[in-house]
Amino acid sequence: MANTIRKDRIAQLVSRLTDYDVYGPVEEDGVFLYRRVTGPPPPGFTNSRVPPKSIFFPQTETMMEFEKDGTGHRFVGAREPERAARKILLLGGRPCDVRAATFLDRLFTWDYIDPYYVDKRERATVISFTCTGPMPNEQCFCPSMDGSPSGTEGADMLWTDLGDSYYVEALTPKGEAILSAGGDAFGKAGKKDAGAAKEVKAAADERITRRFDREGVAAALECLFDDPYWDTVSEPCLGCGICTLLCPTCHCFDINDVVRKGEGRRERTWDTCQAAYYSLHASGHNPRPGKKHRQRNRLYHKFLYIDRNLGIVGCVGCGRCIANCPVNIDIIEVAEGTKTCAEARREGAGADAKGAA
């Protein structure tokens, strides 16, 4: 049994959700970002530049605080910072980013339970919005990654824009809780609403034109590790961290102690495998010394290692890395290119073998 909510009742809904810290997309100087909000998402919001993973996994997060003892030589009194206890509501996630959170759930509970991430994730309710308006756009390819512009994986509710109102589907008990907290802010959906929502979803599917044929990419990567292919694809790469920092599934972080006078904080901050210092050893040795090694690592991690370790692919098809790459490196082209390259190498090897015989 679905519901609806009129757009002009959303602020009222938020005001009733007194137990929640509500986050949603806002436009700041032309850039969509997730911030604390009190009302509905702005009309026509696109994918945010920084994905909403930052709500569960902030770019910089304090893990521990401590101070110097009387001798001035030792740090003592290590303690975790006070954790917030309030519930979190993500009001307006795009289905690809929300699906990416299920990826991070697997990752952060795989061999070690990451308490910082898990704590926030458990407190969170996620409302996905079916892609409408400017979304999906020419950079989107979620269906090729098993997603959908109206996908529900990871979402507690799915809202679909019907013009003056949203068609509201509660998918989990957490979603039901929003319905009951909202009370009469929500209305009952009729057959007509259900039909309209179905049409909006179908229209969103149709607008996605980019395709990524990833069948065979993992197999190709298996035999291309030392291939000159990586020299060619990484030639224009700058070695900046845009593709990874803006990726909804990238999750690497670096831990540092920030010490000022008598006190300190242990902070973790997003890291990027595209930076030279990422893999730099204390000895001075760097196993990934060049940009080709780093570009290669990005592809191997997303399409081979994670698949081996967790049985998932490290890409949800949001297209951020493609749209924001300063030098126009396109992950689809690079990944699909590995197949052509591997095939050419196999043929070459076959010809060599024949020649030798």
Partner 1 sequence: MPDASAKEAQVRDIARRWLASGEVRYVIGYAAGRGNVARAAFVRRAGDADRLIWNPTCVNNLTLFLREEMLRKLAKGEKPDPRPIGIVVKPCDSKTVVELVKEHIVDPARVRVIGLTCEGVCDPKKLVGTEVGPHAVTADTIADKCTVCRLHNPLMADEVVGDEVPETVEDDYSDVAEIEAMSPEERWAYWERQLSRCVRCYGCREVCPLCYCAECVFDREKPYRWNERTVQLPENLWYHAVRAMHLAGRCIDCGECERVCPMDIPIRKLNRYLEKKAKERYGVEAGRSAEDAPTFGSCDVDDPEEFIW
Nearer to partner 1, 152 or 272 (CB): 272
Say how far apart CA 269 and CA 279 lie, in whole Å. Answer: 15
Q: Least distance (Å) from partner 1 to the CB of residue 31?
A: 5
Q: Least distance (Å) from partner 1 to the CB of residue 289?
A: 10
Nearer to partner 1, 278 or 305 (CB): 278
Could you tell me the two tokens for 284?
């001075």
> SS3 of 28, please?
strand
Nearer to partner 1, 32 or 167 (CB): 32
Say how far apart CA 332 and CA 335 lie, in whole Å. Answer: 5
Nearer to partner 1, 38 or 256 (CB): 256
Q: Least distance (Å) from partner 1 to the CB of residue 271?
A: 8
Could you tell me the CA-to-CA distances from 256 to 9, 60, 85, 259 in Å, in that order?
A: 45, 10, 25, 9
CA angle 189, 37, 24 (to 5 degrees): 65
Nearer to partner 1, 275 or 312 (CB): 275
Say how far apart CA 105 and CA 100 lie, in whole Å. Answer: 9
Helices 115-123 and 95-108, packing angle to 10 deg: 140
Q: Least distance (Å) from partner 1 to the CB of residue 239?
A: 5
Q: Least distance (Å) from partner 1 to the CB of residue 166?
A: 24
Nearer to partner 1, 137 or 172 (CB): 137
Say how far apart CA 154 and CA 66 lie, in whole Å. Answer: 36
Contact residues for partner 1, defined by CB under 8 A: 28-31, 33, 49-50, 59-60, 134, 137, 235-236, 238-242, 245-246, 254, 256, 258, 267, 269-270, 272, 275-277, 322-324, 326-328, 330, 333
Q: Least distance (Å) from partner 1 to the CB of residue 310?
A: 26
Say how far apart CA 198 and CA 192 lie, in whole Å. Answer: 10
Amino acid symbol at 198: K
